[in-house]
Amino acid sequence: QRDGANELSHSYPVMFTGITLLPILFQFVLRPLGVGDPNELILLNLVQNAAVTSAIVPISRQSIKISGVLSAFLVLFVTAMTENGLIWLMSGVFSAAGLWCLICGYWSRLETRFVTSSSQLLPIRPIVIGSTVMILIGAVAVASVSTLGTLTVLPGFMPTSGGNKYQNKLARSGVGEGDLIIAAQDSAFSFGPVDSEIFLESTMPSLYDVADDRYGEAAKKKNLNKELSRSISLTADRLKQTSDTPRRSDQASRQFSTLRRLTDPADVRLKNRTSSALLQVAGPTPLHLVTERFDTFDGIQWHHTMRGTPQLNTELENIDGKPWIKVNRAEHSILKGKQSHTLKVINLKSKRIPSPGHLAGIHISDVDRIDFFDQSEDGVFQLAAQPSIPRFTVIHLVSRMFSNEAILKLGDFRKLYYHSSNPFTEHDVLQNQSIEQVHNWVADVNPGWEQVCAVVDHLRTHFTCDPRAKVDEASEHVIDDFMKTRRGPDFMFATAAAMGLRSLGYQTQVVMGFYADSRDYQSRGNQAIVNASNLHFWTEVHVGHGVWIPIEPTPGYEKPQGWLSLQQRISMAIGSMLNWVMTNWLVLGLMLPLMVLGYRKRHLLTDLISKILWRAGWFGTTQRRIAWTIRILEWRARMAGHARPSSTTLRKWYSSLAAKDQQLQEHPVLETILNLANLAFYSPHAQDNETWTDHPDLYNTCSSLLSIWTSYRLKNGLTKAEPDGI
């Protein structure tokens, strides 16, 4: 009878069940945090844990076979669920290795038997089973390509996120799919990169619809002339749509009013869409995505005069077999380095491509004609002859980064401006009191980029961003009122920064776009979600040679990321580390003594941990248990600085160590364990149960050995010199 069988029979089911169900337990922790895995991946993780547990904790020889079968199913399903060539290659390697193991197992069993006779029979059963399986596979394939078949197969025939019976935000693929991937057929509870008649064009908000939702509708002033009274936004009544009335923006001109009538934002604006995502952004965040620029301000409204913005030259370039639209910009020392982003248009009705300020390249799959793109009058790239970017279009963008250090070296870059008339310096709407206030902010600051940063920093530190701040609709000086109250939405900050810098002689313009916040990053999809709440305004400053640098005057939004040299990166890393230490000094102060104590008592901890591991690994055959005990003993000796050389036998090494300590030398159990180790490692009958019948108390023997041969004793009771006779 094998030693320890009773102990294993009690512990194995609990161990097997606990390890197998770990993925489900993890989901209870992860899903309340907004992350998690699709149901089919959880199922595969359960099978994976069962296979691994059956392999490393074999209660019988059948456990290894069960582990192999479960592993084969795992490889089969993973191969069917992915299009990665590397996965297919590894599946082929696994199949070859599995086939080789089956062949070896067959021949090993055949070696012990003699063939007394042979006969050739027609394999009727395999033929019938194989034919039936092929017919079923063919029927499923035919059904899957038909409309009726699709509706009956997709609800859940294979382990997938598909089906059309329920909605799961963690779903990965299929029809009844997650929020951001695919469209439904029975109901419009999700959307994705397939055509669906459920989603009408009228459900897609334009940029100005988003502005209405974000800031409220534009207020009309009765004392303004006809040109200024044209509002850029739809009123609340016009926003109320029915299923028969498509929604569209009737704005003929590009304008934005800083005088807004506040309305309560709705949580769900369209009944046929539960997700509010407009864009998905993959790449470094935070990120400012430009959609529109304004250069002229009349005191109430921003608009673009179509003057002063040069058009950039573009060319089609083939990079790694993919067509890229290369944007040719004049080389300048300010622009250094590049960064890449991937943009996916989900629910935004606009022909303009939201993009970083210094765009260098655009790639859309299979678009290999340069005339598919053009530039708007304010320098934003857009799709030519298209009312809007098709939904679920994936756009790859490459942009240049600016260097703050290089801008500082320019000094007073106002001398680089052309002195011809342009709208970027007009600031007549600003009252003298506000102009004097801005001049006081930069009284002792060097001209150039330092003054720009001083204005931005003052707005960020002494003003408060309040999207619900009320504005007097009868006011003729909205920005001056903002300078007095020091409170308002982000477009007030952008306007104040632009007008204030213009009063100092700097050329500026206001930008409307989207702010991809790093806090909106989703680890599940490695992307940031951009919705209406991410609509944002900021300012750009002209530093000469047609280079516009974005600045962020609104508190609560991170400044645009600039290019950093290696020295700057190291300095920032050290600064971040020091800030983290200062922030967590109390925790570190408590952990440091514990770390010192743990180091000084490391050998006692080694003995405790190794004893727990030895007890947890006490399963399997007697041969395996003896080998596991020797491995724990070897680890303790290695941690104590007495690692056994590979050229020395177990008996010779540990007998020499025992000679250095009187208590170890007098303990008789070492000789017993060494004899058992030789028997387990070198006996041809080690697998037979009869070999170990003379050792009924193996568990107590091994436990006694580990109780006396501790890492602490080996470290403190023996000399570090090599034992004699080695």
Annotated domain spans of the chain: 5-110, 200-563, 601-716
Residues forming a β-bridge with 319: 322
Say if residue 664's pLDDT is above 80.
no
Q: Determine the Cα–Cα distance for residues 356 and 514; give it in Å rounded to an integer.
A: 10
Tokens of 103: 């062949």
Model confidence over 606-638: pLDDT tens digits?
A: 889 999 989 888 887 788 888 899 999 999 988
Alpha-carbon span 430 to 163, nearest angstrom: 60
pLDDT value of residue 459: 95
- What gap in Å lies between CA 441 and CA 458, rounded to an integer? 7
Pairwise pLDDT comparison (173 vs 483), residue with the higher score: 483
Of 13-22, 448-457, 586-595, minimum mean pLDDT range = 13-22
Distances (CA, A) of 522 to 36, 282, 516: 11, 10, 12
Q: Which two tokens stand for residue 578?
A: 């020091």
What is the end-to-end Cα distance of the chain in Å, rounded?
Answer: 39
pLDDT band with cut points at 50, 70 and 90 for residue 449: very high
Identify the pLDDT of residue 283: 87
How far, in whole angstroms, is CA 567 from its chain's centroid? Answer: 27
Tell me 414's DSSP state.
Answer: G
**433: how many CB neighbours lie within 10 A of its CB?**
11
pLDDT digits (tens, 9 = 90+) for 297-316: 888 888 887 665 677 888 98
Average pLDDT, the chain: 76
Please give the structure tokens belonging to residue 253.
């001109």
Enclosing H/E stretch for 700: helix 698-708
Separation of alpha carbons 478 and 562, rounded Å: 32
DSSP character at residue 546: T
Q: Give pLDDT tens digits for 192-242.
A: 333 333 333 445 676 667 776 677 676 665 443 333 333 333 333 333 333
| pLDDT confidence of residue 54 | 81
Q: Which of 201-215, 339-353, 692-706 has the highest mean pLDDT?
A: 339-353
How buried is 313 (Cβ within 10 angstroms: 0-12 exposed, 13-18 middle, 19+ buried)?
exposed
Confidence grade of residue 11 (pLDDT, cut at 50, 70, 90): low
Note the pLDDT of residue 257.
Answer: 83
The pairing of strands 301-303 and 296-297 is antiparallel
Three-state DSSP at 303 gives: strand
* Phi, psi (deg, nearest 5) at residue 325: -90, 110
CA distances from 575 to 554, 569, 578, 717 (A): 24, 10, 5, 46
State the pLDDT confidence band at 128, using cuts at 50, 70 and 90. Answer: low
Two tokens, residue 619: 């399963």
Task: Give the Cβ contact number of residue 630 at 10 Å.
Answer: 20
pLDDT digits (tens, 9 = 90+) for 368-409: 888 888 888 888 999 887 788 888 889 999 999 999 888 999
Contacts of 721 (CB under 8 A, 6+ apart): none
Query: What does the pLDDT read at residue 423?
Result: 66
Residues 6+ apart with CB under 8 A from 473: 219, 221, 259, 261
Residue 253 has pLDDT above 50, yes or no: no
Q: What is the DSSP code (8-state) at residue 102? A: H
Alpha helices of 2-119 — where are they, by DSSP H? 5-20, 22-30, 39-56, 61-81, 85-110
- b (16+ CB within 10 A) / e for 213-222: bbbbbbbebe
The closest of 40, 277, 76, 280 to 162, measured between CA atoms, is 40
Indicate the pLDDT class of residue 9, thresholds 50, 70 and 90: low
CA dihedral 339, 506, 481, 214 (to 10 degrees): -20
pLDDT at 146 over 60: no
* Residue in this structure with the two tokens 């509002």, named with its chain if needed: 231
Element containing residue 326 per DSSP (H, E):
strand 322-328
Once rounded to an integer, what is the mean pLDDT over residues 524-545?
A: 87
pLDDT at 502: 92
Pairwise CA distance, residues 479 & 437, whole Å: 13
Single out the residue of 505, 529, 497 nearest to residue 516, CA to CA.
Answer: 529
What contacts 176, CB < 8 A, 6 or more positions away?
155, 161, 162, 163, 164, 165, 166, 167, 168, 184, 190
Please tell me the distance from the alpha carbon of residue 180 to that of residue 650, in angstroms, as a whole number: 61
Question: pLDDT (tens digit, 9 = 90+) per residue, 477-492?
Answer: 888 889 999 999 999 9
Of residues 523 and 64, the one with the higher pLDDT is 64
Q: Report the amino acid identity of residue 394.
A: V
Provide the token pair at 474: 């009868």
Cα angle at 700 between 698 and 705, to 5 degrees? 95
Position 540 pLDDT exceeds 90: yes
pLDDT of residue 476 exceeding 70, the answer is yes
Looking only at the bridges linking them, the beta strands covering 381-383 and 335-345 are unpaired
